[in-house]
């Protein structure tokens, strides 16, 4: 299936990722329809049409399928039954398999390992006894994470093995006694990510991996080049290609890695969507990750992924958004405000990318 | 006046220029409201709000003033009385003076000359006798142009002095007996233009002048660098600065020049708005002409106007728009489809910019 100009792309989710996807789609000659319960959401401000309803509202999804030639999503926590049903009545790209794998940290890490992509060691823990055993195996240290619905550092408890840790019962209780896994603490020296696009014809194109810095569990900066050598870059891209192929993926995904002291990589998690650590592509590449995703799901050829400049992308969290006019006064800075009315602590309000050097 | 995030910018006119202004405004955190009689126009697809009404509908303009913090326009043929009235009840940027001057080729050329900017010689001709006299003065050759409402080569008759010309009566008749001027034929060797932005504080920033090629009176390509030496570039930028200053202008304007064999310049016309020959800035500059215009009218600092790459922008006219998927397969090409449903001969449907070399 190749979309023609004037075709309509459905986007489930109306946040900043949907907003930037809608802008990219418009430039390529496509129309967009966003499904999002919140009116006047960031994406609704730039799309052609909005269906105001819950993401799992079957009658709304039916409407979306009726109005759109292809449907995609901007976040991975879509109700899986709704996504599977949607895939039977519409072209859903990427498909439901990527959602199924990505929604559960256990299936995600298992899938990665099964396809030759190393992760940190992890244990599925069903109760306090199993958590005690797993902690003992990992030397008393590790990160307990909810299997589902964690993001930006939420749904995590760190065991430091220094006597300050909660008991296993307390930890499980404080996460709401939901399914969890314990991950071994990885003594990583840095973090990188690969934004990869896989076209409908199976072609994979990767952007260069940025070096990422998180603060309070939220991405703070992505820097190009990413501070690793060419072998590490290639290994990261190769892993992203393997993953995209194994998922039969169509679209853009983001795969995050820890970089160990010896340069080896441990995949942390992947997002079956455009990714915050790819926002710099809007400023430093001819074809951004947003356009790349639209090209992929439209059955179009992919862009080449090259960047014309080194750069640093900074997130603007909460009241940081007030920095935009001052940032605009700097040379070589591209700013982006997501159009969210209320600024709240920890809320992603915008970002900016500073080009630091041209490359050629 | 400095606009704050969430402020609303009114745009009179809903074509591709309004569309690209709306996208730039959104990225800076502004909302947009477009006044345009055609529903689902290119700009309406990307703005927050549309008032569907004629450009000179006073009650619609009143609504626009009520809803917006500043008002701008994407085309120069706005009813002048309506614009003047609007400026009394709202912040209109650029102001009505630029419209008044630009709407009439006689006042435009007179204004340019009065501010030290050379144009080709011209004569105001009120009747066939005056046209005969002016033609005699110019050696039988020249271009007869309607004073108002000409664009893309429309409203023009060329006198070649080779025996094939119409009589003066016939020529005036065929232009509808509207006010006209005769311009001396300029034996130019090339055409360039300057896209200049003047901020609310009087700062002027120019983009580098592209070399422009017209086909059938419509811009075909804009190429950077523009094929003139540094002195000619500086002279063109200086003229644009003088013009913007003389008009007390706030926003982006486009000033077109003929380049003569000796490198001297003759200003042809200016547009009090973002300009087709500045579309390349979207691909080759961090801050595009569209963002630059929004920054200016918002009272924000301007971008620096630097380009990171040499490039060529091509218009996609009529059925050329079907080339987009193939162009997207090339490396270093940024495509832009304006979202117009019907492709007609001579209609601007989109453009693309090919980056040809990085500079630095």
Residue range B111-127, pLDDT digits in tens: 999 999 999 999 999 99
pLDDT-derived band at B359 (thresholds 50, 70, 90) equals confident
Phi, psi of A146 (to 5 degrees): -65, 140
* Closest alpha carbon within chain B to A359: B358
Could you read off the pLDDT of B163-190 as tens digits, one per residue?
A: 899 999 999 999 999 999 999 998 999 9
The verdict on B295 touching A (C-beta cutoff 8 Å) is yes
Asked if residues B49 and B33 have their Cβ atoms less than 8 Å apart, the reply is: yes
The verdict on A54 touching B (C-beta cutoff 8 Å) is no
Question: What residues contact residue B162 under an 8 Å CB cut-off, 6+ apart?
Answer: none
The verdict on A304 touching B (C-beta cutoff 8 Å) is yes
Share of chain B above pLDDT 90, in %: 93
Instruction: Tell me which of A26, A41, A343 to substitute to probe the interface with B (most B C-beta atoms closer than 10 Å).
Output: A26
Q: Which residue has the tokens 């345009």?
A: B36
Could you read off the pLDDT of A48-58 as tens digits, one per residue?
A: 999 999 999 99
Neighbours of A110 (CB within 10 A): 15
* Closest alpha carbon within chain A to B5: A339
Question: What residues contact residue B14 under an 8 Å CB cut-off, 6+ apart?
Answer: B34, B35, B36, B38, B41, B42, B43, B44, B50, B74
CB contact under 8 A, B28 and A287: no
Among left, alpha and beta (phi > 0; psi -120 to 50; other), residue A2 is beta
Instruction: Tell me which of B31, B42, B45 to substitute to probe the interface with A (most A C-beta atoms closer than 10 Å).
Output: B45
Q: What is the distance in angstroms between the Cα of A152 and the nearest Cα belonging to chain B? A: 24
Higher pLDDT, B151 or B139: B139
| Mean pLDDT calculated for residue range A32-42 | 96
Q: What is the pLDDT of residue B118?
A: 98
| Mean pLDDT calculated for residue range A64-72 | 98
- β-pairing, B70-73 vs B8-12, is parallel
CB contact under 8 A, B359 and A358: yes
Token pair for residue B32?
């947009």
| Mean pLDDT calculated for residue range A70-91 | 94
Q: Is this prediction's pTM over 0.90?
A: yes
Could you read off the pLDDT of A228-270 as tens digits, one per residue?
A: 999 999 999 999 999 999 999 999 999 999 999 999 999 999 9
The verdict on A160 touching B (C-beta cutoff 8 Å) is no
Q: Cα dist. B94→B12, B66, B253 in Å?
A: 12, 18, 9
**A152: pLDDT strictly greater than 70:** no
Helix B80-89 to helix B58-67 angle, to the nearest 10 degrees? 30
User: Which burial class, exposed, middle or buried, applies to A63 when counting CB atoms under 10 A from its CB (0-12, 13-18, 19+)?
Assistant: middle
Q: What is the pLDDT of residue B1?
A: 80
| Mean pLDDT calculated for residue range B9-28 | 98
CB-nearest to B300 from A5, A325, A360 is A325
Phi, psi of A257 (to 5 degrees): -130, 150
Share of chain B above pLDDT 70, in %: 99
Average pLDDT score, chain B: 95
3-class secondary structure per residue, chain A: CCCCCCCEEEEECCCHHHHHHHHHHHHCCCEEEEECCCCCCCCCCCCCEEECCCCCCHHHHHHHHHHCCEEEECCCCCCHHHHHHHHHHCCECCCHHHHHHHCCHHHHHHHHHHCCCCECCEEEECCHHHHHHHHHHCCCCEEEEECCCCCCCCCEEEECCCCCCCCHHHHHHHCCCCCEEEECCCCCCEEEEEEEEECCCCCEEECCCCEEEEECCEEEEEEECCCCCHHHHHHHHHHHHHHHHHCCCCEEEEEEEEECCCCCEEEEEEECCCCHHHCCHHHHCCCCHHHHHHHHHCCCCCCCCCCCEEEEEEEEEHHHHHHHHHHHCCCCEEEEECCCCCCCCCCEEEEEEEEEEECC
pLDDT-derived band at A63 (thresholds 50, 70, 90) equals very high
Instruction: Tell me which of A1, A2, A5, A319 to substitute to probe the interface with B (most B C-beta atoms closer than 10 Å).
Output: A5
The verdict on A331 touching B (C-beta cutoff 8 Å) is yes
| Mean pLDDT calculated for residue range B204-228 | 97
Work out how many CB contacts closer than 8 A connect A with B. Answer: 112
Residues of A with Cβ-Cβ distance to B358 under 8 angstroms? 308, 358-360
The secondary structure of residue B322, as a DSSP letter, is G
pLDDT-derived band at A360 (thresholds 50, 70, 90) equals low
Could you read off the pLDDT of A302-345 as tens digits, one per residue?
A: 999 999 999 999 999 999 999 999 999 999 999 999 999 999 99
Q: What is the distance in angstroms between the Cα of A132 and the nearest Cα belonging to chain B? A: 49
Residues of B with Cβ-Cβ distance to A200 under 8 angstroms? none
* Closest alpha carbon within chain B to A300: B325
Neighbours of A128 (CB within 10 A): 15
DSSP H or E run through B282: helix B281-284
Q: What single string gives the DSSP state of each residue in B204-252?
A: EEEPPPPEEEEETTEEEEEEES-SS-HHHHHHHHHHHHHHHHHTT--EE
CA distance A26 to B272: 26
The verdict on B341 touching A (C-beta cutoff 8 Å) is yes
The verdict on B176 touching A (C-beta cutoff 8 Å) is no
Q: What is the pLDDT of residue B206?
A: 98
Higher pLDDT, A186 or A281: A281
Query: What's the CA angle centered on A107, arms A104 and A112, to 5 degrees?
Result: 120
CB contact under 8 A, A27 and B335: yes
CB contact under 8 A, A332 and B304: yes
DSSP H or E run through B16: helix B16-27
**B292: pLDDT strictly greater than 90:** yes
The verdict on A297 touching B (C-beta cutoff 8 Å) is no
Token pair for residue A343?
């600024």
The verdict on A308 touching B (C-beta cutoff 8 Å) is yes
Question: What residues contact residue B322 under an 8 Å CB cut-off, 6+ apart?
Answer: none
Average pLDDT score, chain A: 95
Q: What is the pLDDT of residue B153?
A: 65
**B95: pLDDT strictly greater than 70:** yes
Distance between start and end Cα atoms, chain A: 36
Q: What is the distance in angstroms between the Cα of A193 and the nearest Cα belonging to chain B? A: 23
* Closest alpha carbon within chain B to A7: B339
CB contact under 8 A, B333 and A23: no
| Mean pLDDT calculated for residue range A146-168 | 86
Interface predicted TM-score (ipTM) of this complex, two decimals: 0.92
Q: What is the distance in angstroms between the Cα of A254 and the nearest Cα belonging to chain B? A: 22
Q: What is the distance in angstroms between the Cα of B233 and the nearest Cα belonging to chain A? A: 22
How many residues belong to chain B?
A: 360
Q: What is the pLDDT of residue A153?
A: 65
* Closest alpha carbon within chain A to B351: A27
Could you read off the pLDDT of A118-138 as tens digits, one per residue?
A: 999 999 999 999 999 999 999
CA distance B30 to B298: 9
Q: What is the pLDDT of residue A149?
A: 81
Q: What is the pLDDT of residue A113?
A: 98
The verdict on A342 touching B (C-beta cutoff 8 Å) is no
Share of chain A above pLDDT 90, in %: 93
């Amino acid at each position: 299936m190749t979309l023609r100009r004037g075709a309509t792309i459905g986007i489930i989710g109306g946040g900043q990722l949907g907003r930037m996807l809608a802008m990219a789609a418009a430039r390529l000659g496509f129309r967009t329809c966003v499904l999002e319960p919140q009116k006047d959401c960031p994406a609704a401000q730039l799309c052609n049409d909005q269906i105001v309803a819950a993401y799992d509202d079957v009658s709304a999804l039916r409407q979306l399928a009726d109005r759109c030639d292809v449907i995609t999503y901007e976040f991975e926590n879509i109700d899986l039954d709704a996504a599977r049903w949607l895939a039977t009545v519409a072209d859903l790209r990427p498909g439901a398999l990527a959602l199924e794998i990505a929604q559960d940290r256990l299936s995600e890490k298992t899938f990665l390992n099964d396809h030759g992509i190393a992760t940190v060691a992890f244990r599925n823990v069903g109760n306090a006894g199993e958590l005690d055993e797993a902690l003992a195996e990992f030397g008393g240290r590790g990160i307990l994470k909810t299997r589902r619905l964690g993001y930006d550092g939420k749904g995590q408890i760190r065991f430091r093995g220094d006597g300050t840790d909660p008991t296993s019962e307390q930890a499980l209780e404080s996460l709401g006694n939901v399914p969890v896994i314990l991950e071994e603490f990885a003594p990583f020296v840095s973090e990188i990510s690969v934004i990869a696009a896989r076209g409908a014809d199976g072609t994979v194109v990767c952007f260069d991996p940025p070096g990422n810095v998180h603060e309070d569990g939220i991405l703070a900066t992505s820097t190009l080049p990413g501070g690793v050598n060419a072998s590490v870059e290639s290994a990261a891209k190769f892993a992203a290609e393997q993953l995209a192929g194994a998922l039969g993926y169509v679209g853009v995904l983001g795969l995050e890695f820890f970089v160990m002291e010896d340069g080896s990589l441990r995949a942390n998690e992947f997002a079956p969507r455009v990714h915050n650590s790819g926002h710099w592509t809007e400023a430093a590449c001819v074809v951004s990750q947003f356009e790349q995703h639209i090209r992929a799901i439209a059955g179009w050829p992919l862009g080449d992924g090259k960047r014309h400049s080194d750069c640093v992308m900074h997130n603007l969290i909460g009241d940081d958004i007030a920095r935009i006019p001052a940032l605009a006064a700097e040379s070589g800075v591209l700013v982006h405000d997501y159009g969210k009315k209320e600024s709240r602590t920890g809320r992603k309000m915008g970002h900016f990318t500073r080009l630091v050097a041209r490359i050629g």
